[in-house]
């Protein structure tokens, strides 16, 4: 199942650090919830999720090499494609999930280096990549990188051993 999350409010330091990406918006406005539990926005949402410790990043769905397998991170052509191909699997799961997508635009890529296909996980789209770098691809103006988290079954706890308490 998919579930909504709460974002922290930006501190002045965070706002200054991300001003070039955030365009003066508060952290909660950096991501848009397109359907419950699915957000589109910047990279690195883990820095700003209020209860991040209660989520496990990158827990794949289904057994490896089976038709039910879905990698917890990857690349797709569009939000609609992710919604059609991955969201139903997340909604059908018994555990809680939250998903994040970030648009990578070809126009924003440098003519040397930049975004590369193999660094972002499996590609679930329909385009047939021909080049290593997005800036050199023909017939594709943008892609979306995605990842989803799974709610931890038990809360995270940290224990501290104190020998003076033994008795």
pTM comes to 0.78
The per-residue pLDDT for 5 is: 67
76-85, pLDDT tens digit by residue? 999 999 999 9
Structure tokens of 158? 């940290």
Closest CA to 142 of 109, 112, 93, 98: 109
**With pLDDT > 90 as the criterion, what percentage of the chain qualifies?**
34
DSSP string, 77-121: S-HHHHHHHTHHHHHHSSS-EEEEEEEEEGGGS-SSS--BGGGS-
96-121, pLDDT tens digit by residue? 889 999 999 999 889 888 999 988 99
Give 82's contacts (C-beta < 8 A, 6+ positions apart).
38, 76, 99, 101, 124, 144, 146
Rounded distance between C-alpha atoms, residue 102 and residue 123, angstroms:
14
The per-residue pLDDT for 9 is: 63
33-91, pLDDT tens digit by residue? 888 889 888 887 777 777 778 877 768 888 888 888 888 999 999 999 999 999 999 99
Give 13's contacts (C-beta < 8 A, 6+ positions apart).
none
Structure tokens of 40? 């589109």
Estimate to the nearest angstrom the gap between the alpha carbon of 39 and the chain centroid: 8
Backbone dihedral region of 114: left (phi > 0), alpha (psi from -120 to 50 degrees) or beta? Answer: left
The per-residue pLDDT for 65 is: 84
């Amino acid at each position: 199942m998919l579930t909504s999350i709460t974002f922290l409010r930006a501190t002045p330091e965070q706002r200054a650090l991300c001003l070039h990406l955030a365009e003066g918006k508060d952290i909660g406005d950096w991501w848009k919830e397109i359907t419950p539990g699915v957000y589109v926005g910047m990279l690195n949402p883990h820095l700003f999720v209020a209860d991040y410790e209660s989520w496990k990043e990158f827990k794949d769905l289904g057994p490896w090499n089976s038709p039910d397998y879905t990698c917890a991170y990857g690349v797709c052509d569009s939000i609609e494609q992710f919604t059609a191909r991955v969201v139903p699997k997340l909604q059908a799961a018994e555990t809680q999930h939250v998903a994040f997508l970030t648009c990578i635009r070809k126009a924003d890529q440098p003519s040397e280096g930049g975004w590369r296909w193999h660094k972002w996980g499996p590609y679930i789209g329909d385009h047939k990549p021909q080049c290593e770098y997005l800036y050199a691809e023909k017939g594709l103006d943008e892609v979306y990188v995605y990842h989803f988290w799974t709610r931890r079954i038990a809360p995270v706890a940290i224990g501290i051993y104190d020998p003076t308490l033994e008795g």
